[in-house]
Amino acid sequence: MSKLLIVDDEIKIREVVKEYAKVNGYFCDEASNGNEAIKKAINEDYDCIILDIMMPELDGFSACKKIKQYKDVPIIMLSARQEEDDKLLCFELGVDDYVTKPFSPKELMARIKAVLLRNKKVENERYIFDDLVVDVIGREVLIANKKINMTPKELDLLVYLIENKNVALSREQILAGVWKITSYFNDDRTVDTHIKMLRKSLGKHRNKVMTVRGTGYKFEV
C-alpha cells in the first residue's frame, strides 16, 4: 500500500484528500505546515507528498527544497496561484506535478496514480492477493506457495492488469501497454487469446481477471 503525506494548512482540504486517498487504497499521513512536513518526510518514508505552497511558518517552495535534500520522493504541489513563474519554479525544484486550487479530488487521485507509476521502484516489488503472489523482479507467480508456469507474455499481461487494478482497460490500451502496439490491425484477438491463457494459469483466481462489456478487461480486487 502506497503511503502519502498530505500537507496543507486548511484542515478541510486535508480531510477531503485523505478521504479520497483512502478510498483509492492509500495510507495517509498529514501535516499542517512546512516545518512539520520536513520533519515527517525526514523521519518517515513516503511514496508521494502532496504539498501546498501558501502555508504559515514555512512555504511549500522552501519545504520542497529542504525535503529534496534528504529524500528522493515524488512531490505534487497544490496552489491557488496560477502564475507561470510559480509553476516553473516548482519544476526547477524537482516537483513531479502542479495542481491548482480549486481542484477535483478525483483528478488529484489520477495524478497521484500517474506519479506513483512513473516513480515505481520495481526492485522490491511483489503483489499479494490472498495466496496469489506475483513477484515482478523474480518473474514468478505463486499460488498457495506453488510456482505457476506462465509464458513471459502472460506474466507481462498479469503485471500490467495488476498495476491498473480496478480500471477497465480497452484492448487497444492493453496492446500498447504489454505488446507496445499502438494500432489495432488484427491484434485484438491476441489480447483475448492471452487473457484466456492467463485465466487458465490463474486457476481459482481466474475470476480476478474480469471481462468489461464494451470495453475490454480489468483485474478486480
Specify whether 112 is located in the same domain as 215.
Answer: no
Residue 188 is predicted with a pLDDT of: 64
Distance CA 76, CA 66 (A): 15
Residue 25 is predicted with a pLDDT of: 86
Distance CA 65, CA 61 (A): 6
Positive or negative, the CA dihedral 197, 200, 201, 204 is positive
pTM: 0.55
Query: Quick one: cell of 209?
Result: 481477471
Show which of 56, 86, 118 is a domain's final residue.
Answer: 118
Domain count, the chain: 2
Lowest-confidence segment of 75-79, 80-84, 128-132 by average pLDDT: 80-84
Query: Quick one: cell of 152?
Result: 513471459
In which element (H, E) is residue 12 found?
helix 11-23
Specify whether 103 is located in the same domain as 189.
Answer: no
Q: What is the mean pLDDT of residues 150-179?
A: 89
Residue 136 is predicted with a pLDDT of: 87
Please check the confidence at residue 195 and state whether its pLDDT lies above 50: yes
Residue 177 is predicted with a pLDDT of: 82
Specify whether 158 is located in the same domain as 208.
Answer: yes
Specify whether 113 is located in the same domain as 161.
Answer: no
Specify whether 193 is located in the same domain as 93.
Answer: no
Specify whether 18 is located in the same domain as 112.
Answer: yes
Q: What is the mean pLDDT of residues 34-39?
A: 94
Q: What domain range is 38 assigned to?
A: 3-118
Specify whether 70 is located in the same domain as 150.
Answer: no
Instruction: Write down the residue that cell numbers 488529484 correspond to.
Output: 108
Q: What is the mean pLDDT of residues 202-212?
A: 96
Question: Per-residue pLDDT tens for 39-63?
Answer: 999 999 899 999 999 988 898 999 9
CATH number, domain with residue 188: 1.10.10.10
Specify whether 95 is located in the same domain as 141.
Answer: no
